[in-house]
Structure 1
Amino acid sequence: MPSTKLSSAVSTEVGMVGYGQSPYYKRTDQSLISLLAQTSRLALDSAGLQKSDIDGISVCSFVLAPDNAVTLAEQFGLSVSWAYLGTAGGAGPVAAVLNAVRAIEAGQASTVLCLAGDNYDIAGHYKLMDQFNRSLQDYGTPNGFGGANGLFGVVQRKHMATYGTTRAQLGRISVGQRRSAQLNPNALLRGPMTLDDYLNARVIADPIGLYDCVLPCTGAEAVIVTSLDRVDRSKRIRILAGYEQHNHPPGEIAPLSGGWELFRDRLFSDAGRTHADIDFVQAYDDYPIMVAIQLEDLGFCRKGEVGEFLSRHDFSYDGSFPLNTNGGQLSCGQAGAGGGMIGLTEAVRQLRQEAGEFQTAAPRCGLVSGYGMVGYGHGLSSSAVILENVK
């Protein structure tokens, strides 16, 4: 089955023009709707647009039900001609942006508010995973599968055994991102971390340790998609190319690759860019091993050679390979489905050079990748987009 693609003929005059991020909380009395509203206002202010400009809405969330995109529009007082509810977990927000572009090109909407977020704590996350879908509910949970930690412990062990990847190499991702997070006031985990701290942390699901795992939290993210000519030039972030792919490889338990490998070449070809043009990567980082697999499948190194790639790079915001420049989910926390959009909001912030102390030096082009919807043994959904500022 061919991958879903953003047409190579897509107008590059549709892009992202505003972004917003709520505070992240370990626990809060605020409702999810209030957090989504807060980040929507921030995104509108960032774009210089008004609420009345919005005529499309998308939302990705695990705990919004029984509400959805249409009832969210009602609660926001919006009349919309296009509504989209994400179903691809951490790959959903990138896919939502791509579908918003298509909706604008088709004349179904002119300005789309894309939202993602959740409101839960650690206990709520575990409960969610136990009932995440039929395969886990009926087969994983009754057999004590250990949640996502257990599933991805198997993936990491398999990658280590197959390619010789080491924990010390993977730990460089967590350590580099933590250095960036120390400068980000919205990161929940900002304490210093050395590679020894990473390696000596308690085991959670062998070989996964404490600092391989995200902290479930509450928060919301937003971006606004519209024609670039509607805003000041300094606010414009062009979408050069993007793809989504689901259930690849089919039928394989704990695969060491994902859908990115199917669309990688077309992604860069459509964008008219090479890997050398990418100034930063915002990769979905539920676990370092999945960041490593994304780097392989997206072509930054060959399959099985990511260990050496990790050994020779610094992954902080000012390192040799800027990665998840705000600290990523591993240090900021994972706000449910918001974890799939934190990379998009950070990419817009970096490309507009508004990141403050953790600003990467003069970035022009960045890549954001998504991953999610854990099924029976692996994540089912992959997505990626290449973005560029208009300077």
Structure 2
Amino acid sequence: MPLPRNVDPILRIGSKNMSEKDFRNRTAIAGIGYSRSKENPGGFSKNSGVDVLTLAVRAARAACSDAGLDPKEVDGAVMYQMFDDSVRTGLVLSALGSRKVGYASNLVGGGNYASFAVIQAAQAVYHGIANYVLVYRALNGRSGIRMGHWGAGAGGGLHRVGGESQFSSIYGLAGAASNHGFEARRYMDLYGVTSVDLAHFAVNSRSNAIKNPRAMMRTPLTIEDHQQSRIISDPYHLFDCCQETDVACAMIVTSTERARALKKRPVLISAGIGGGVSPVPNIEDTNLINIGPRLLAAADVKLNDIDVFEGYDAFTDMPMRMIEDMGWCKRGEAKDFIKDGRISLDGDLPSQTHGGLINEGYCHGFNNVLEAVQQLRGDAEDLCPNWHLGEHTYDRKLCRQVRDAEIALNVSVLGSSAIILKRD
């Protein structure tokens, strides 16, 4: 029977007739890993000194070890990249010694896939195509291919720009800061948000990063430091912007039943949605105005049930706008929400608990997903002596573990995709 003309078939698949609830909590994240090495024990750096394949394999093996899984058992993989800055699944699976691969996906896109890559892996598991799916993002984002270094767009050579970017790069819009700066400025002008308000978000994130041994930026930051830092692209100061980073992050997605038989406490995938951005009325809007309510319904949770929020923070205004668009506060009120301490580790909505992309490092948002997993497992990597055993002091000079975290929301850039994770 054909669908009515006014019903999107993709939405119909997720309607109550077809069952997002059947997918709920049926798959899980069983292990996570970073591209650590003796030279770079945190995994995040500005010069890895190795190729991207090495980074990806290190993170993948670490994720398998974390799960207690033989890498040869991995039979599926999902990755995402931009500008051919990564390494495809076939090479990584071969390096792991995978024997029977039933699923492999190589996505081309940026931060919109941070949540979606996990959703895709979970669907492959849910439908029985693969048993253990590796999801990874790997890049030499500082020493190799750098975002936004696209040239003038009119000349020849390797940096010639095509597609829609050819019409904007000639005017200097050659990177994310200059493009998203328009959205930020519109948002700030409409709702009376100032650069100092953005600074409060940056300072909160840095306070968390100080307690994160993985983070690239761990020097204390003040409002004055933020305001005195140089302008990158109006209205963004240096400390409003994410890092350029060499890193790989990886995870293992499997069924909930299999995950429970492995080494670590599983983190359940309760709901996921996205992969692209629906049209939004205004440039200051995020796609959460479209997908937020449906995501909550799919996971069968209420907004106030969410204990941890890891929003894509390529720039400080982005998670502020997403906090508003999810409904935690009204438009223009995130600045007060932050000043009141509500996104602090002991606040109502702990956010960027690892320091986020602006401090820990930039893995195109995938490290935000891994952080949500650690928070729900209760083993956030911090300065507590026995963090790896799940023992935390909650002394906020040392500890960044959120108390009794059960449900986390991860959102990719501007709400393009999102997942709700739940402690098993």
TM > 0.5: yes
Give the superposition deviation at 1:127: 5.4
Equivalent residue, structure 2, for 1:168: 196
CA contact (8 A) 2:57 2:95 kept: no
d(CA) in 2 for partners of 1:116 and 1:134? 25
| Larger helix fraction of residues | 1
Deviation at 1:347, TM superposition (A): 0.8
Give the counterpart of 2:336 among 301, 308, 312: 308
User: Relative to structure 2, which stretch is displaced further, 346-355 or 2-11?
Assistant: 2-11
In structure 2, distance between residues paired with 1:386 and 1:282: 10
Counterpart check, 1:120 vs 2:141: yes
Give 2:392's aligned residue: none
Identify the range of structure 1 (114-123 vs 58-67) with the bigger mean alpha-carbon deviation. Answer: 58-67
For residues 1-391 of structure 1, what are the structure 2 equivalents within 5 Å?
7-22=20-35, 23-62=43-82, 64=84, 67-78=87-98, 79-121=100-142, 124-126=145-147, 128-129=149-150, 134-135=162-163, 137-232=165-260, 235-249=265-279, 255-334=283-362, 338-355=363-380, 356=387, 357-371=399-413, 382-390=416-424
CA apart distance, 1:202: 1.7
Number of corresponding residues: 377
Q: Which amino acid aligns with 1:389?
A: R
Q: 1:50-99: CA deviations, max 9, x gaps? A: 11221110112235568422343234332311011123311213111111
The one-letter code sitting in structure 2 at the alignment partner of 1:39 is: A
Whole-angstrom CA distance in 1 between matches of 2:336 and 2:75: 48
Letter in 1 for 2:20: S
Question: 2 CA distance for matches of 1:368 and 1:292?
Answer: 14
- Tell me how far apart the structure 1 counterparts of residues 419 and 86 of structure 2 sit (CA, whole Å): 30
Residues 57, 285 of structure 1: CA spacing in aligned structure 2 closer, same or farther, 3 A cutoff? same
Task: Kindly indicate whether the alpha-carbon contact (under 8 Å) linking 1:177 and 1:315 is maintained by their aligned counterparts in 2.
Answer: no
Please tell me whether the aligned partners of residues 241 and 270 of structure 1 are also in contact (alpha carbons under 8 angstroms): yes
CA distance in 2, matches of 1:314, 1:277: 15
Structure 2 residue identity aligned to 1:299: G
Moved more, 266-275 or 146-155: 146-155
Whole-angstrom distance in 1 between the partners of 2:80 and 2:90 = 12
Q: 1:295 Cα shift?
A: 1.2
What is the identity, as a one-letter code, of the residue corresponding to 1:317?
A: L
- Alpha-carbon deviation of 1:218? 0.4
For each residue in 1:235-290, what CA deviation from the matched residue of structure 2 results, as whole angstroms up to 9, or x when unmatched?
Answer: 1111111110524326x7x7111222111111111111112111110111000111
Q: Structure 1 residues 255, 134: CA separation in 2 closer, same or farther (over 3 Å shift)?
A: farther
Instruction: Please state whether the residue corresponding to 2:21 is helix, strand or coil.
Output: coil
Seen in structure 2, the aligned counterparts of structure 1 residues 66 and 168 have a Cα distance that, compared at 3 Å, is closer
User: Once superposed, what is the RMSD of the aligned Cα atoms?
Assistant: 2.4
Q: Answer yes or no: is the 8 Å Cα contact 1:63–1:118 preserved in 2.
A: no
**Residue type at the aligned position of 1:243:** I
CA shift, 1:174, in A, is: 0.8
Q: 1 CA distance for matches of 2:314 and 2:29?
A: 25
Q: 1:26 to 1:316 in 2, by over 3 A?
A: farther
Identify which range, 116-125 or 263-272, moves more after superposition.
Answer: 116-125
C-alpha separation in 1, matches of 2:147 and 2:124 = 35
Whole-angstrom distance in 2 between the partners of 1:36 and 1:340: 16
Q: Indicate the structure (1 or 2) with the bigger Cα radius of gyration.
A: 2
Alignment CA distance shift 1:292-1:60 (3 Å): same
TM value normalised by structure 2: 0.82
Kept in 2: contact 1:170–1:310 (CA 8 A):
no
Instruction: Tell me by how many angstroms 1:213 deviates.
Output: 0.9
The gaps in structure 2 that reach 5 residues or longer are 1-7, 36-42, 152-158, 381-386, 388-398
